[in-house]
């Protein structure tokens, strides 16, 4: 009697799943009533013409697109109602590269492992990295930098970075697109082999109809609807065509919903064909499926389950077995992810020669520019004579000379302070405008894999804080040494220079976290810096009703005003004599700049927590 495995081997099931968007005020189903069952150890292709919903379906399965209707069942759990996938249960390989060009293959895989899997020691970490590199055929090029890899090698690297957590469900989005025929077949063969290990399900979206014989089943979509799901060798028969290349033209002969109605009449018979082929693979030993796991709670999944279960009676006695437990690997803690990210960021920074040279140029040139204009700020201010002359002409001349000195020195001192403030604002913008938005896709992918947004943001803050402290203190001490001493409390002045750089860095980091693209973040940050000078009131006082509204938001004003308040009395009076803008006490300036930094960091945290997968 033939052995059947109808339900026990089933791991994922879609029940009338829909994903709907609003277009021109109407609901449009990009995924329309998709139903299918996929067993363990199965390799499935998702094909169809452009725009048919392949990638959208894959993202819906992954949870990146919340289903609008229907249910998604995973290992007995209804993901539409209960808890979602554990990060290590699922791997998602997107169309774009998820590795940084300056890093090597080995460094990329190591970072992915440290971010996704908690290793007990370095030996366990090394074994996992070596195994993944070997599985994906990357061992021989482990020391090669990502930027010199071929398209096929980058696809293998993307797979390797997902396999570090041993996902039971591996979703691949167009991983063979743009490859030559040989590389394409190698990748498909690799995915086929991966599906045969540990009962892993591999779903691969592809536009190509080549190498279908390597798949266990093919899912054909048309206008978001299932038009076919069955063995590859039945594809041409079902669509009544002579060659697979004729399938897409055949699909265009009618709408997706009509194909769906037709398919539902044949679904059961084609599923039976797939199960028979599956039984043969199991019997021949070509496919080894692990024993059905015992359901465990989320809190218990990171512990090895050692209890036994009782199965139906065999020969009149209960049969006790030790099951293979389906468990999600534990994620690293906050500190582990933070240290990995920070180490990786510094490595990328120092290997980016252009960025290093730009930072050095800014660090050196900006203070030098300020010293070129600082001579007048060091001039003495003529004092009034202790003896009052009876000659009105002499008295008037003396007053005019004193006022001229005050105006000259006051304008120079005020201008030099604002010059430093604006240049440090520009440094802050350059520091962080692209820091998060520039790696948006990679970050969103790593967050999907279990990266904590708090650890990610903390690594950015520490990295940028090092730049801020270096830039600000170098600016302050260089100008102090070569441009003339600050005519007041130098430490107070240095603190305000540090705070303006920190404030603009934090604000631009928030912009970077909230914007989708690096171009948007850079443009908005440039505008922000550009408005700092005119709205600060240091050159021309704004109308009172405008000034009251804008001043709380202009970081440059508070840094400039705080530094002016730190000046010696005579120099302070000189500055006051040439400005119309009111100044604010230092303590208030410190408080406002601190608020700017805190609010910006809160906004940045909101930005990194918000899903922005494109």
Does 484 have pLDDT greater than 70?
yes
CB 508 within 8 A of CB 424: no
Most confident of 200-214, 309-323, 394-408, 453-467: 453-467
Q: What is the rounded distance in angstroms from the CA atom of residue 257 to the CA atom of residue 32? A: 8
Choice between 403 and 581, residue whose per-residue pLDDT is larger: 581
Look at residue 207 in the predicted model and tell me its pLDDT: 87
Q: What is the pLDDT of residue 101?
A: 94
Nearest to 541 by CA among 562, 526, 557: 557
The two tokens of residue 462 are 């520490």
pTM: 0.87
Q: Which residue from 244, 218, 463 is spatially nearest to 347, judged by alpha carbons?
A: 463
pLDDT at residue number 238: 94
Map tokens 């202790």 to a residue: 386
pLDDT in tens, 206-221: 988 889 999 999 999 9
Q: Is the confidence at residue 127, as pLDDT, over 80?
A: yes
Q: Could you identify the residue written with the tokens 């408080």?
A: 591
* Residue among 136, 147, 155 at smallest CA distance from 104: 147
Average pLDDT, the chain: 86
| pLDDT at residue 313 greater than cutoff 60 | no
Confidence (pLDDT) at 308:
38
> Looking at residue 394, what is its pLDDT?
55
Q: Say if residue 393's pLDDT is above 80.
A: no
Q: How confident is the model at residue 440 (pLDDT cuts 50, 70, 90)?
A: very high
180: which DSSP letter?
-
The position carrying tokens 């512990």 is 303
The pLDDT value given to residue 612: 85
Q: Cite the DSSP H helix spans in 181-297.
A: 181-195, 235-239, 247-251, 256-284
Residue with tokens 């090597």: 104
Mean pLDDT over 589-613 rounds to: 95
Residue 387 has pLDDT above 80, yes or no: no
Where is pLDDT greater, at 576 or 607? 607
Q: Can you give the pLDDT at residue 364? A: 93
Model pLDDT for residues 530-569, shown as the tens digit of each residue: 888 888 877 777 777 787 888 899 999 999 999 999 999 8
Please report the pLDDT score of residue 575 as a whole number.
87
Beta bridge pairs of residue 73: 13, 78
What pLDDT does 358 receive? 93
Which pLDDT belongs to residue 476? Answer: 95
pLDDT at 344 over 80: yes
Q: How far is CA 319 from CA 292, 309, 313, 315, 323, in A?
A: 15, 8, 6, 9, 12
DSSP 481-501: HHS---SB-HHHHHHHHHHHH
Distance in angstroms between the alpha carbons of the first and the last residue of the chain? 51
3-state helix/strand/coil string of 302-317 = CCCCCCCEEEEEECCE
Separation CA 479–CA 481 (nearest Å): 5
Residue 571 near residue 377, CB atoms below 8 Å: no
Question: Would you state the structure tokens that stand for residue 411, as one six-digit string?
Answer: 């304008």
Residue 379 reports pLDDT greater than 80: no
Give residue 316's pLDDT band: very low, low, confident or very high (50, 70, 90): very low
Q: pLDDT tens digits for 1-17?
A: 344 444 444 589 999 99
Per the rule left: phi > 0, alpha: psi between -120 and 50, beta: everything else, 90 is beta
More confident residue, 612 or 162: 162
Q: What is the pLDDT, as a whole number, of residue 281?
A: 84
Q: In 3-state terms, what secondary structure has residue 582?
A: coil
Residue 473 has pLDDT above 70, yes or no: yes
Q: Sketch out the chain's domains with CATH numbers.
A: 10-89+170-284 (3.40.50.300), 414-609 (no CATH)
Q: CB neighbours (10 Å) of residue 200? A: 22
Check whether 516 has a pLDDT greater than 50.
yes
């Amino acid at each position: 009697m033939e052995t059947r495995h109808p339900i026990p081997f089933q791991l994922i099931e879609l029940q009338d799943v829909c994903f709907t968007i609003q277009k021109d005020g109407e609901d449009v189903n990009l995924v329309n009533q998709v139903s299918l069952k996929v067993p363990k150890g199965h390799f499935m292709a998702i094909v169809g013409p452009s725009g048919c919903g392949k990638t959208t379906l894959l993202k819906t399965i992954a949870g990146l697109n919340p289903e609008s209707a229907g249910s998604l069942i995973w290992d007995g759990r209804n993901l539409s109602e209960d808890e979602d996938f554990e990060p290590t249960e699922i791997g998602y390989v997107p169309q774009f590269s998820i590795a940084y060009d300056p890093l090597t293959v080995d460094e990329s895989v190591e970072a992915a492992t440290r971010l996704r899997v908690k290793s007990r020691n370095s030996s366990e970490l090394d074994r996992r990295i070596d195994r993944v590199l070997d599985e994906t055929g990357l061992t021989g090029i482990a020391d090669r930098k990502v930027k010199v890899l071929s398209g096929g090698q980058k696809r293998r690297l993307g797979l390797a970075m997902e396999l570090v957590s041993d996902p039971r469900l591996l979703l691949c989005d167009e991983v063979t697109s743009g490859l030559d025929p040989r590389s394409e077949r190698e990748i498909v063969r690799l995915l086929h082999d991966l599906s045969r290990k540990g009962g892993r399900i591999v779903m691969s979206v592809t536009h190509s109809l080549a190498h279908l014989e390597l798949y266990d089943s093919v899912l054909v979509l048309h206008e978001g609807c299932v038009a076919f799901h069955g063995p590859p060798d039945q594809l041409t028969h079902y669509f009544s065509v002579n060659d697979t290349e004729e399938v897409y033209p055949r699909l265009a002969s009618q709408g997706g919903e009509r194909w769906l109605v037709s398919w539902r009449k044949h679904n059961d018979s084609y599923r039976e064909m797939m199960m028979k082929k599956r039984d043969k693979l199991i019997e021949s030993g070509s496919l080894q499926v692990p024993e059905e796991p015992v359901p465990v709670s989320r809190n218990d999944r990171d512990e090895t389950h050692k209890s036994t279960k009782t199965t139906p009676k065999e020969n009149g006695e209960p049969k006790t077995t030790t099951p293979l437990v389906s468990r999600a690997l534990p994620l690293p803690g906050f500190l582990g992810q933070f240290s990995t990210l920070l180490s990786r960021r510094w490595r990328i920074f120092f290997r980016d020669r252009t960025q290093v040279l730009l930072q050095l140029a800014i660090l050196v040139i900006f203070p030098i520019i300020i010293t070129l204009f600082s001579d007048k700020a060091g001039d003495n201010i003529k004092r009034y004579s202790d003896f009052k002359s009876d000659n009105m002409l002499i008295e008037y001349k003396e007053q005019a000379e004193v006022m001229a000195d005050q105006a000259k020195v006051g304008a120079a001192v005020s201008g030099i302070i604002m010059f430093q403030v604006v240049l440090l604002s520009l440094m802050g913008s350059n520091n962080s405008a692209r820091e998060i938005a520039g790696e948006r896709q990679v970050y969103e992918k790593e967050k999907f894999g279990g990266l904590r947004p708090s650890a990610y943001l903390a690594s950015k803050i520490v990295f940028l804080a090092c730049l801020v402290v270096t830039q600000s203190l170098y600016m302050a001490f260089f100008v102090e040494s070569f441009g003339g001493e600050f005519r007041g409390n130098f430490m107070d002045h240095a603190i305000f220079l540090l705070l303006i750089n920190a404030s603009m860095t934090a604000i631009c980091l928030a912009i970077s976290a909230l914007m989708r693209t690096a171009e948007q973040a850079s443009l908005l940050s440039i505008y922000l810096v550009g408005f700092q000078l005119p709205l600060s009131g240091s050159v021309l006082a704004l109308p009172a009703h405008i000034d009251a509204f804008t001043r709380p938001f202009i970081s440059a004003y508070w840094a400039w005003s705080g530094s002016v308040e730190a000046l010696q009395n005579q120099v302070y009076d000189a500055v006051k004599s040439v400005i119309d803008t009111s100044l604010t006490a230092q303590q208030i300036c410190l408080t406002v700049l601190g608020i700017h930094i805190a609010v910006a960091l809160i906004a940045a945290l909101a930005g990194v927590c918000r899903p922005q997968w494109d």
